[in-house]
């Protein structure tokens, strides 16, 4: 039973265009959402997050949108660059938990074509 879903295993985008990575979750108790980026042979690194009290968070070229009613979030990368090619993991957390697990989605592999 996957609580965090990323239905697109891969995505290809032309350099300079927008990349949109989607994520859906099933647990309405999640109140914090994160995106991690992973290059081959490296561990995931934190990219951007959003609290459930917001619907948008922006950091440079990266923007995360949250639609709580739809239990959906998306990561927008504008403009996309070849160095953005990586696997992106969506993750969710219940911050009120004393046992603060981070639940990961399966990842989406992004390829930015020069």
Instruction: State the residues that interact with other proteins by CB under 8 A.
Output: 2, 4, 9, 32, 34, 36, 41-46, 49, 89, 91, 93, 95, 99-107
Which residue's CB is nearer to other proteins, number 9 or number 14?
A: 9
CA–CA gap between residue 83 and residue 63 (Å, rounded) = 17
Least distance to other proteins, CB of residue 57, Å: 12
Least distance to other proteins, CB of residue 87, Å: 10
Which residue's CB is nearer to other proteins, number 14 or number 39?
A: 39
Q: Indicate left, alpha or beta for 102 from its phi (over 0: left) and psi (-120 to 50: alpha).
A: beta
CA–CA gap between residue 110 and residue 18 (Å, rounded) = 12
Which residue's CB is nearer to other proteins, number 18 or number 29?
A: 29
């Amino acid at each position: 039973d996957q609580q965090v879903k990323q239905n697109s295993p891969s995505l290809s985008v032309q350099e300079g265009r927008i990349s949109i990575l989607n994520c859906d979750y099933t647990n309405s108790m999640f109140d914090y959402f994160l995106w991690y980026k992973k290059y081959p042979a490296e561990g995931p690194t934190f990219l951007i997050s959003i609290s459930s009290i917001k619907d948008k968070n922006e950091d440079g070229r990266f923007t995360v949108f949250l639609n709580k009613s739809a239990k959906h979030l998306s990561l927008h990368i504008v403009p996309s660059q070849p160095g953005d090619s990586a696997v992106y993991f969506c993750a969710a957390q219940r911050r009120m938990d004393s046992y603060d697990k981070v639940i990961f989605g399966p990842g989406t592999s992004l390829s930015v074509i020069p």
